[in-house]
A and B are shown apart, each in its own frame.
Chain A
Amino acid sequence: MSEHVRDRIVGTVLVAFAVVWCIVVRTTVPTAYGDAIVGPGDAPLWLGMVLGLLALLLVGRSFTEKAAPAIDAGEAIALPDAADRASEWKAIGAVAGSLIVYALFMEWFGFVVATFVIVFALLRYGLGVRSTRVLLGMPLIMSFGIFYVFGLLMGVYLPHGTVISPF
């Protein structure tokens, strides 16, 4: 996919988002109370419009510019085009899946149990780690170590489980 085609897709998605945003803001947030000339709904509406215009500009420039736009500063992680798509989806799945399950487990079983189980599972089944030292040491340090240092010594509130709460 060329830079221009990608810009057109991104621009179109952003225009659609801006339109939906403006409709939602207009229908759910009041514009102004009393004598105030600017209300709670005005700034979100204006910014939605600005986003829409900028997205249109992005699409428009993809038709007028000849050279492909250069990569911006601040993109710390630029990925090579030839990178394996399967690896990418696997990584996204591993991160999103494990974080969602982690948050749910933490709600049910508390920080210590959830962290131990998730870190162990991620290392063993997500990353294929076989070293017993890493498989046991890392979950122990991440769960009990953080619980001791932050939870007990520093007083940071770490979640207790709603189903079981051993710590």
Chain B
Amino acid sequence: MEPFLTALAASTTPHTLYAMLLGSLVGIVFGAIPGLTYTMALALVMPFTFGMAQVPAIGLLLATYIGGMTGGCISAILIGIPGTPSTAATVIDGYPMARKGQASLACGTAIVASAFGGLFSLIIMVLSVKVISRVAIAFGPAEIFALVVFGLSTICGLSERSLVRGLIAGVIGIMATFVGQDPIDGVPRLTFGSTTMLQGIDIVVAMVGLFAIPQVINTLREYYHGGAAKVDPQSVKVELPSLRLLWKNFSVMVRTSALGTVVGLVPGAHGPVAAFLAYDHVKRFAKDPEQFGKGDIRGVIAPECANHAVTGGAMIPMLSLGFPGDPATAIILGGLLIHGLQPGPLLFSEHPDIIYTIYIEIMIGYLMVCLIQLYGVQLFVRTLMVPPHLLAVGIMVMCIVGSYAIRNSFLDVYVMLGIGLLGYVLQRVHIPVTPIVLGLVLGGTMEREFRTALLMSEGDPSVFYTSPTAMMFFALTILVFAAHIIGQRRGAKKARRQVA
């Protein structure tokens, strides 16, 4: 009890709370602006922690992480451009809700769902950190590869009536990850001798282009076609989610948060995978799946709960084993090391107060970010009062800033534009762009883990079918694709009968 009380006292000092407030705000801003990532925010706030005491320093890093994770949903819902890769799935239903005049309801629900997912995974982390960390190390390259393949099965849900089109988009996304330096041998691929191309296509740059450029072109097209659009004041009414609405979707929140926590455990699979899997899961088991994609609140709740539940899952291997699952937790790990803390099994026995501090600060971080954002909803939705053609100009500027700032490279700006124009053409020919993002997210991990597994097994492919975990994910993938194809055929037959 004493370590807990010590941690509670240290985590609630004004100094720590100020640091966390600052981190939350910086994180929210970086998360909300497409192209600026919370990893970048963490890297930028890290030097500020050098002169700080342990507890406020950890609080600043954790709050920045949480704020950045949560902020991404705002731009996803309001302007249809995900602030972070994890919120790409939120666009599918969040943006249609905003277009129906339910922007604040969607934002408010996403914020509450995010906090719920994060706190849910925190509870799981507190209760089972040691047990779950054993599960995390049981995931080798073959199992991660199988999980990623299973993640690709969500393409079925994203391309409901034309699986071929969805698969084409997914394959294009995976192919884009091959440009640049090969992840295992370091061989340049499809760079055509250019050294700047060695860095490959950044997922955030591609995402900004895919979502923002078609949006801007369409807004300007409508403007040129019919003049300045009148802003509907109804679209900025502030309506937060009621307790009844949240209770009605409670099971969705619990299921998708549990899914996110499990996905968070697996290194290299994280937010976007969890969000897409959760979206697909909820849509697949809904009584009215046809409502998804048209502005269904469950399509906002599921990805937001799942991608925040990942935080707890990602923290478990970092704290208990000392290995980070993604770049953001790697920076947090670096912050802990700088302050003389070595994550791993010894941290639990030697510094239980620090472990409790981390738990408490994650909780405070989520509550703080939730309150800031709920208060800010009325401000965020005012973005919709700006005439669309002027907003489009602002989005263009932010696209440039965001895509340049990722790696300080002008090549990224041109890549963003090229991918954006491609995205526009694909939308015009009815090829969905969301599976491209999925392919971009999963492609690199899929190839790396596949080849690593084969290297470790000295070329023996049985590594994939002798692992029960890998086999389970492969079986689930086949099941999902089979169920989708059978469902499609039944639907087509039914439609033909109705016509007859």
B459 CB within 8 Å of chain A: yes
Note all chain A residues with C-beta closer than 8 A to B427.
75-78
Note all chain A residues with C-beta closer than 8 A to B293.
73-74
- Known contacts: A40-B184, A77-B218, A95-B216. The answer to whether A50 contacts B171 by CB under 8 A is yes
CB distance from A137 to the nearest CB of B (A): 10
Note all chain A residues with C-beta closer than 8 A to B215.
76-77
- Known contacts: A58-B164, A77-B215. The answer to whether A87 contacts B221 by CB under 8 A is yes
Q: In the complex, A43 Cα to B240 Cα: how many Å?
A: 47
Q: In the complex, A101 Cα to B95 Cα: how many Å?
A: 30
- From B218, B224, B414, contact of A103 by CB (8 A): B414
Establish whether residues A36 and B459, one from each chain, have CB atoms under 8 Å apart when the complex forms.
Answer: yes
Note all chain A residues with C-beta closer than 8 A to B168.
14, 51, 54-55, 58
A140 CB within 8 Å of chain B: no
The size of the chain A interface, using a CB distance under 8 A, is: 78
Q: In the complex, A94 Cα to B410 Cα: how many Å?
A: 20
CB distance from B67 to the nearest CB of A (A): 13
Chain A proximity mask over B214-231: 1 for CB below 8 Å, otherwise 0 = 111110111111000000
Interface residues of B in 229-271 (CB under 8 A from A): none
Q: In the complex, A146 Cα to B172 Cα: how many Å?
A: 34
Interface CB pairs A-B, < 8 A, 5: A73-B158, A76-B211, A156-B36, A156-B401, A158-B401
Note all chain B residues with C-beta closer than 8 A to A71.
161, 430
Establish whether residues A54 and B162, one from each chain, have CB atoms under 8 Å apart when the complex forms.
Answer: no
- From A6, A61, A73, A99, contact of B292 by CB (8 A): A73
- From B390, B414, B432, B451, contact of A75 by CB (8 A): B432
Note all chain B residues with C-beta closer than 8 A to A51.
168, 171-172, 175
Establish whether residues B429 and A10, one from each chain, have CB atoms under 8 Å apart when the complex forms.
Answer: yes
State the total of A-B contacts with C-beta under 8 angstroms: 220
Interface residues of A in 107-148 (CB under 8 A from B): 107, 111, 115, 119, 122-123, 126-127, 129, 134, 138, 142, 146
Establish whether residues B160 and A73, one from each chain, have CB atoms under 8 Å apart when the complex forms.
Answer: yes
Q: In the complex, A3 Cα to B404 Cα: how many Å?
A: 38
- Known contacts: A61-B164, A138-B393. The answer to whether A37 contacts B459 by CB under 8 A is yes
Establish whether residues B223 and A127, one from each chain, have CB atoms under 8 Å apart when the complex forms.
Answer: yes
- From A28, A40, A58, A154, contact of B44 by CB (8 A): A154
Establish whether residues A83 and B225, one from each chain, have CB atoms under 8 Å apart when the complex forms.
Answer: yes
Establish whether residues A38 and B450, one from each chain, have CB atoms under 8 Å apart when the complex forms.
Answer: yes
- Known contacts: A44-B189, A44-B190, A91-B218. The answer to whether A158 contacts B405 by CB under 8 A is yes
10 tightest A-B CB contacts, nearest first: A74-B432, A74-B434, A73-B293, A91-B220, A40-B182, A87-B224, A91-B221, A87-B225, A37-B459, A70-B161
Q: In the complex, A123 Cα to B211 Cα: how many Å?
A: 22
Note all chain A residues with C-beta closer than 8 A to B159.
72-74
Interface residues of A in 68-90 (CB under 8 A from B): 69-79, 83-84, 86-88, 90
Query: What 20 additional pairs, Cβ within 8 angstroms, besides A25-B178, A58-B164, A70-B162?
Result: A25-B190, A28-B189, A29-B190, A35-B458, A36-B451, A39-B185, A44-B178, A50-B171, A71-B161, A72-B165, A72-B431, A74-B293, A75-B433, A79-B221, A83-B221, A99-B400, A100-B414, A115-B397, A142-B397, A156-B44
